[in-house]
Amino acid sequence: MKQKFLIYAKVLIIPLLIVLVLASCAVGRLPSTLEILYNLCIGWAMFIKNVVLKAHVYWPSLFTGVVAFIVLILCVHSIFIWLAREKIIPGNQPEGFKWKFKWSLYAVFLLIIAFVAGIVVISLIHQSFWLYQDISANRILE
């Protein structure tokens, strides 16, 4: 049991220390542990609360988005039905093979996850360069 605790402690504490060191390099001071814990536990929820209170729903855009999403699902499903009927999808399908709607939903879900992952990577790179340029500009001014 003690060895398991040591392994978990190493896995959790070492990355936390690395993040603290990187944060102190970026900010110029070592942030307090309470400040970090507050931001991780409560800070993001407070940010979301403030943003949601200021947000307004534009109903025609929401309706258009929902309709477009339904059309996307139906198009993906019809394409996969056609591919399965023409036996273009690899594999040994039995004679009465039918493409299930659930599989089309899984395909659309994977497509959305791929787009979200791409947006996240681009955002991380953009934010990193933005922070680097901001730090470089502050060094020049000092």
C-alpha to C-alpha distance for 77 and 64, rounded to whole angstroms: 20
Q: Is 91 domain-assigned?
A: no
Please indicate whether residue 124 or residue 86 has the higher confidence score (pLDDT).
124
Residue 31: the pLDDT is 55
Residue pLDDT, tens place only, 6-16: 677 677 777 77
Residue 80 corresponds to which tokens in the numbers above?
């996969």
Cβ atoms 87, 93 nearer than 8 A: yes
Q: Per-residue pLDDT tens for 53-81?
A: 888 889 999 999 999 999 999 999 999 98
In which band, very low, low, confident or very high, does the pLDDT at 42 lie, cut at 50, 70 and 90?
A: confident
Task: Confirm whether pTM is higher than 0.75.
Answer: no
Tell me, yes or no, whether 94 lies in a domain. no
Among 30-39, 53-62, 88-97, top mean pLDDT goes to 53-62
Question: Residue 32 domain-assigned?
Answer: yes
- Classify residue 120: in a domain, yes or no: no
Apex CA 9: angle with CA 8 and CA 15, to 5°?
Answer: 100
Does the residue 103 lie in any domain? no
Is 41 among the domain residues? yes
- Summarize pLDDT for 104-142 with one digit per residue, the tens: 999 999 999 999 999 999 988 888 887 777 665 565 545
**At residue 35, does pLDDT exceed 60?**
yes
pLDDT at 52 (0 to 100) = 83
- Residues near 84 by Cβ (< 8 Å), separated by ≥ 6? 93, 97, 98, 99
What is the tally of structural domains in the chain? 1
9 belongs to a structural domain: yes
Other CB atoms closer than 10 Å to residue 108's CB: what's the count?
Answer: 16
11 occurs within a structural domain: yes
For 12, the domain range is 1-55
Q: What is the pLDDT of residue 25?
A: 66
Render pLDDT for 14-25 as a digit per residue (tens, 0 to 9).
777 777 667 666
